[in-house]
Amino acid sequence: MTLEFHALAAVLLSVGALLLFSRNEIPLEYSCIGVLTTLVLFFELFPLDPTAGVTGATFLRGFGNEALITICLLLVLAKGVEVSGALHTFGKWLSRIWLGHRQLALLATLVFAAFTSAFANNTPIVVMMLPILVGVAHRVDIPPSKILMPVGFATIIGGMSTTIGTSTNLLIVSVSEDFGLPRLEMFDFILPAAIAAVVGILYLWLLAPKLLPPRPTLLAGTEPRLFNATVEIEEDSALAGQELSKAVRALGPDIRVVRVERGSSIELVRLPTLKLQVADKLQIRGSPEAIHAAKRLLGSADRSGNLVREPDDRVIEVVVTPDSPLHNKKLSQAQLSELRDLVPIGWYRPGVHRDASLAQWRDPVLRNGDVLLMQGPRQPVNDLIETPQIMILARTIHVPRSDHARLALGTMIGVVLVAATGLIPILATALVGVGVMLAGRCLAWNEAWSAIDVRIVLVIVTSLALGSALTVTGAAQSLAIGLVGVIGSLPPPVILSGLLLITALLTEIVTNNAIAVIATPIAMSISTELGLPALPFVLAVLFGANMSYLTPIGYQTNLLVMGAGGYRFSDFFRAGLPLQILLWLVLSFVLSEMYL
For residue 28, which of 563, 514, 550 has the smallest C-alpha distance? 514
- The share of the chain scoring above pLDDT 70, in percent, equals 81
Residues 581 and 519 in one domain: yes
Residues 448 and 590 in one domain: yes
Q: Which domain holds residue 307?
A: 227-402
Q: Is residue 114 part of a domain?
A: yes
pTM of the entire structure? 0.67
- Condensed to tens digits (0 to 9), the pLDDT of residues 379-418 reads 777 777 666 556 665 444 555 556 678 888 889 888 888 8
What average pLDDT does the structure give for the chain? 80
Three-state DSSP class for residue 394: strand
The confidence band for 36, taking pLDDT boundaries of 50, 70 and 90, is very high
Q: Is residue 8 part of a domain?
A: no
291 or 473, greater pLDDT: 473
Residues 186 and 250 in one domain: no
CA distance 164 to 170: 6
- The share of the chain scoring above pLDDT 90, in percent, equals 21
Q: What's the order of all strands across the beta sheet hosting 266-268? A: 266-268, 255-262, 281-286, 227-232, 343-348, 371-377, 313-319, 391-398
Q: Is residue 24 part of a domain?
A: no
Which stretch of DSSP H or E encloses residue 282?
Answer: strand 281-286
Q: Is residue 218 part of a domain?
A: yes
- pLDDT of 496 strictly over 90: yes
Mean pLDDT lowest among 43-52, 220-229, 375-384, 545-554:
220-229
**CATH number, domain containing residue 364:** 3.30.70.1450
CA distance 35 to 130: 36
Q: What is the pLDDT of residue 508?
A: 82
- Residue ending a domain, choose from 371, 402, 433: 402
Residues 342 and 318 in one domain: yes
Q: What is the pLDDT of residue 586?
A: 97
Q: Is residue 111 part of a domain?
A: yes
Beta bridge partners of 507: none
Q: What is the DSSP letter of 366?
A: P
Residues 206 and 307 in one domain: no
CA distance 83 to 487: 51
Residues 516 and 496 in one domain: yes
Q: What is the pLDDT of residue 323?
A: 60
Residues 354 and 445 in one domain: no
Q: What is the pLDDT of residue 241?
A: 83
- pLDDT of 453 strictly over 50: yes
The confidence band for 514, taking pLDDT boundaries of 50, 70 and 90, is confident
Mean pLDDT lowest among 96-100, 428-432, 545-549:
96-100
Three-state DSSP class for residue 257: strand
Residues 338 and 246 in one domain: yes
The confidence band for 88, taking pLDDT boundaries of 50, 70 and 90, is low
Residues 194 and 233 in one domain: no
Which stretch of DSSP H or E encloses residue 391?
Answer: strand 391-398
Q: Please state whether beta strands 266-268 and 371-377 pair in parallel, antiparallel, or not at all (unpaired).
A: unpaired
CB 385 within 8 A of CB 392: yes
Residues 454 and 329 in one domain: no
The confidence band for 130, taking pLDDT boundaries of 50, 70 and 90, is confident
Q: What is the pLDDT of residue 219?
A: 43
Question: What is the number of structural domains in the chain?
Answer: 2
396 or 13, greater pLDDT: 13
Strands (DSSP E) found in 226-289: 227-232, 255-262, 266-268, 281-286
Q: Is residue 50 part of a domain?
A: no
Residues 267 and 318 in one domain: yes
Burial 266-291, CB ≥16 within 10 A → b, else e: eebeeeeebebeeebbbbbbbbbbbb
Q: Is residue 217 part of a domain?
A: yes
CA distance 50 to 463: 24
- Residue ending a domain, choose from 353, 380, 402: 402
Residues 454 and 580 in one domain: yes
Work out the widest C-alpha separation in the chain, in whole angstroms: 92
- Number of Cβ within a 10 Å radius of residue 396: 8
- Most confident range, picked from 137-146, 227-236, 248-257, 433-442: 433-442
Q: What is the pLDDT of residue 386?
A: 61
Q: What is the pLDDT of residue 339?
A: 63
Q: Please state whether beta strands 343-348 and 313-319 pair in parallel, antiparallel, or not at all (unpaired).
A: unpaired
- Residue ending a domain, choose from 402, 417, 441: 402
Mean pLDDT, residues 522-543: 92
- Condensed to tens digits (0 to 9), the pLDDT of residues 134-190 reads 767 776 778 888 999 999 999 999 999 999 888 889 889 988 988 888 888 889 999
546 or 95, greater pLDDT: 546
- pLDDT of 310 strictly over 60: no
- Condensed to tens digits (0 to 9), the pLDDT of residues 330-360 reads 766 665 555 656 767 677 766 554 433 344 4
Q: Is residue 269 part of a domain?
A: yes
